[in-house]
Amino acid sequence: MKERVVLAYSGGLDTSVGIGWIAEATGAEVIAVAVDVGQGGEDLNVIRQRALDCGAVEAYVADARDEFATEYCMPALKANALYLDRYPLVSAISRPVIVKHLVRAARQFGATTVAHGCTGKGNDQVRFEVGITSLAPDLKCIAPVRDLALTRDKAIEYATRHALPIETTKHNPFSIDQNVWGRAVETGFLEDIWNAPTKDVYTYTDDPTFPPVADEVVITFEQGVPVALDGVPVTPLQAIQEMNRRAGAQGIGRIDIVEDRLVGIKSREIYEAPGAVALIAAHQELENVTVEREQARFKRTVSQRWTELVYDGMWFSPLKRSLDTFIEDTQRYVSGEVRLVLHGGRAVVSGRRSDSSLYDFNLATYDTGDSFDQSMAKGFIEIYGLTAKLSAARDVKFGNGVDLSPVAPLPTGTNVVAGA
């Protein structure tokens, strides 16, 4: 029996050519694997047939949209995952679900190698290969574009020579990756970081400069997961899709960022993630109401590390798995409703309520009904500041106190007014 290679297949030029290219370069049979994570485009059955027509011996296709939304987008939401405080991991969280299906197909069809279409400059090569070997250490990985010198010119020439059923002349100036959580755009004129993005860069969002009338939405959460919009029950996938539509119509979720890639270079990226940005804003605010202070402070540290691990392709790592446990525990009481006003590129919280809220009106109010015993504050401050007070006294004793002299001498005749 021939060796078999599983190929992550998109249905486009590079991966369609990659089927025959890999077969010729390695002598192996190729199994094409197409995974729908909400990227839109062609029907999976059309993609499956194209893979077979291009020479694949088998074609594995999977509609993973619900799986992606529930098992990958929701953990990112619970973590409030924003790389460099802005990027909601649009591409990074889609790679692990694709990896899972690649490994599943490799086992099903007896493949020994997994191939992907990444270059040697990006993060995705790491996400695919580390993910694959984390789930199946015995599998080998190859990348035709990186390892077999498959350039676009060679791909077009190969497709033409073999009469492959794939469009070879259409050229998009951008490299685009999209799924239900958002859309990533790079290359072309965007590589000059002084160039502003043009209107044709955006698809998921409308121009926020001239927005429609403000849209108000109430999002209901149960343990960190959105379960209803304006009282209508939704699945995680439906919640993301509907918020993509409503927040996108207001131009919310446009991100223009120069980010630090894992491979050590900086890259200019344009992202659109209307649903993700709006849902994270609502989720963060509900956490502010329901998560205890010290737990919330530590969670911010955990969330940042979680985000970095996922961005760096370590979804299946032991540390990420441990952080998952902590984050999941913090969501125990993150249930309630958040009201968002969507307008002009912004998602603004205008109301929040929860049966598990830690907000106590009688403690917070300054009006009649205030139940906070202010007489306790003086003793609290004395004890809270005691270590700093003792340390300061020691500094003064040894001549190391804070220098309180003026930066420059006061002019002769200047009157110093007490309290000035």
Model pLDDT for residues 102-145, shown as the tens digit of each residue: 999 999 999 999 999 888 888 999 999 999 999 999 999 999 88
* Domain-ending residue, one of 124, 156, 171: 171
Q: Are residues 133 and 237 in the same domain?
A: no
For the domain that residue 373 is a member of, what is the CATH number?
1.20.5
**Per-residue 3-state assignment (H helix, E strand, C coil) for 169-223:** CCCCCCEEEEECCEEEEECHHHHCCCCCCCHHHCCCCCCCCCCCCCEEEEEEEEC
Residue 375 designated active-site: no
Specify whether the CB–CB gap between 101 and 60 falls below 8 A.
Answer: yes
Q: Are residues 211 and 227 in the same domain?
A: yes
For residue 405, name the pLDDT band (cuts at 50, 70, 90): confident
Query: Which residue among the candidates 4, 48, 50, 95 is catalytic per the annotation?
Result: 95
For the domain that residue 190 is a member of, what is the CATH number?
3.90.1260.10
Residue 261 designated active-site: no
Q: Are residues 131 and 55 in the same domain?
A: yes
Q: Are residues 377 and 287 in the same domain?
A: no
For the domain that residue 137 is a member of, what is the CATH number?
3.40.50.620
pLDDT number for residue 416: 58
In a domain, 20, yes or no: yes
In a domain, 420, yes or no: no
Q: Are residues 53 and 77 in the same domain?
A: yes
* Domain-ending residue, one of 129, 154, 171: 171
* Domain-ending residue, one of 171, 189, 205: 171
Q: Are residues 121 and 80 in the same domain?
A: yes
In a domain, 411, yes or no: no
In a domain, 408, yes or no: no
Specify whether the CB–CB gap between 110 and 4 falls below 8 A.
Answer: yes
Q: Are residues 123 and 234 in the same domain?
A: no
Query: Which residue among the candidates 50, 91, 124, 267 is catalytic per the annotation?
Result: 124
Residue 346 designated active-site: no
Q: Are residues 243 and 377 in the same domain?
A: no
Q: State the DSSP code for 83.
A: B
Give the range of the structural domain holding residue 370, as residue numbers without chain letter.
363-395
Total domain count for the chain? 3
Query: Residues annotated in the binding site for ATP, as ranges?
Result: 8-16, 117
Q: Are residues 124 and 273 in the same domain?
A: no
Q: Are residues 134 and 228 in the same domain?
A: no
Q: Considering the entire predicted model, what is its pTM?
A: 0.91
Query: Which residue among the candidates 86, 146, 175, 261 is catalytic per the annotation?
Result: 175
Residue 312 designated active-site: no
In a domain, 381, yes or no: yes
For residue 404, name the pLDDT band (cuts at 50, 70, 90): confident
Q: Are residues 93 and 137 in the same domain?
A: yes
Quote the CA–CA distance of 177 and 231 in Å, as a whole number. 32
Averaged pLDDT, 332-346 = 98
In a domain, 55, yes or no: yes
Confidence check: pLDDT of 420 > 50: no
Q: Are residues 27 and 72 in the same domain?
A: yes
The tokens for 151 are 């350039």
pLDDT number for residue 419: 52
In a domain, 416, yes or no: no
Lowest mean pLDDT among 161-170, 171-180, 372-381: 161-170
In a domain, 198, yes or no: yes
Query: Residues annotated in the binding site for L-aspartate, as ranges?
Result: 119, 123-124
Lowest mean pLDDT among 20-24, 146-150, 200-204, 289-293: 146-150
Query: Which residue among the candidates 4, 14, 65, 183 is catalytic per the annotation?
Result: 14
